[in-house]
């Protein structure tokens, strides 16, 4: 046990550097996926059939492509057409694009859960579709979408480890590098698992809080 704590004290500073990049990737891709997912969702619920078909097609394609393939494409293929991104930028954009499909379905379900009569009432008052969405529908939809949004945050935090495949030195890659150089696999990956758990527990508690609030309504 003493050996574990001694090794942990040696490895933790390096792993914490990886934690910083993990958080950066997770937050950046979360923001990007939220904005992009909201765009896809609004297209899905719009009154223009061609927009609905385009957004549905995009969402299906993104859900069918593995995240790792998307990351490889952005980081390794796009430079061939003159678009070069750093590994961190590519990981944020790749994860953001991949998760925008799940964000879109979450927002779409929340929007469609709002009573359609509210849309008709707003329209009868002279509000256009955009104003109705902005002032009437979206504020309510965001509250409905919060618990699933929290789950997406947790999944995104864990999937940020896939950024290691394009050389982002986040937590998983730092752990792998330490394990390869020290052969102390058990200690290293126990620490990695503990650090992921420490980051995820607050999010799990937040999700549970919103779920309880939703159940009371």
pLDDT in tens, 22-78: 999 999 999 999 999 999 999 998 888 999 999 999 999 999 999 999 999 999 999
pTM given for the model = 0.89
Q: Is the pLDDT of residue 205 over 80?
A: yes
The alpha carbon of 82 is separated from its chain's Cα centroid by a whole number of angstroms, namely 27
Q: Is the pLDDT of residue 214 over 70?
A: no
Neighbouring C-beta atoms of residue 131, cutoff 10 Å: 13
Query: What's the average model confidence in pLDDT over 207-215?
Result: 72
CATH number at residue 47: 1.10.3720.10
Per residue in 78-125, pLDDT (tens digit) is 999 999 999 999 999 999 999 999 999 999 999 988 887 887 787 778
User: What's the structural domain count of the chain?
Assistant: 1
Domain residues for the domain of 163 are: 2-216
Q: How many Å apart are CA 62 and CA 45, to the nearest integer?
A: 18
Buried b (16+ CB within 10 A) or exposed e, 71-88: beebbeeeeeeeeebebb
């Amino acid at each position: 046990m003493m050996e574990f704590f001694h090794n942990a004290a040696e490895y933790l500073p390096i792993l914490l550097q990886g934690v910083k990049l993990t958080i950066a990737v997770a937050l950046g891709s979360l923001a990007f996926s939220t904005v992009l997912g909201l765009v896809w969702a609004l297209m899905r619920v719009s009154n223009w059939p061609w927009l609905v078909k385009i957004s549905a097609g995009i969402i299906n394609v993104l859900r069918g492509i593995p995240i790792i393939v998307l990351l490889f494409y952005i980081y390794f293929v796009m430079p061939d057409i003159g678009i070069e991104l750093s590994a961190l930028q590519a990981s944020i954009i790749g994860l953001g694009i991949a998760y925008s499909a799940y964000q879109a379905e979450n927002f779409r379900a929340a929007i469609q859960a709002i009573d359609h009569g509210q849309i008709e009432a707003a329209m009868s008052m002279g509000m256009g579709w955009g104003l109705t969405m902005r002032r009437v529908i979206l504020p309510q939809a965001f509250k409905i979408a919060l618990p699933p949004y929290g789950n997406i945050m947790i999944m995104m935090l864990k999937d940020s480890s896939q950024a290691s495949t394009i050389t982002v030195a986040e937590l998983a890659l730092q752990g792998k590098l330490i394990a390869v150089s020290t052969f102390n696999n058990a200690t290293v990956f126990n620490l990695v698992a503990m650090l992921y758990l420490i980051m995820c527990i607050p999010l799990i508690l937040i999700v549970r809080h919103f779920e309880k609030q939703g159940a009371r309504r």
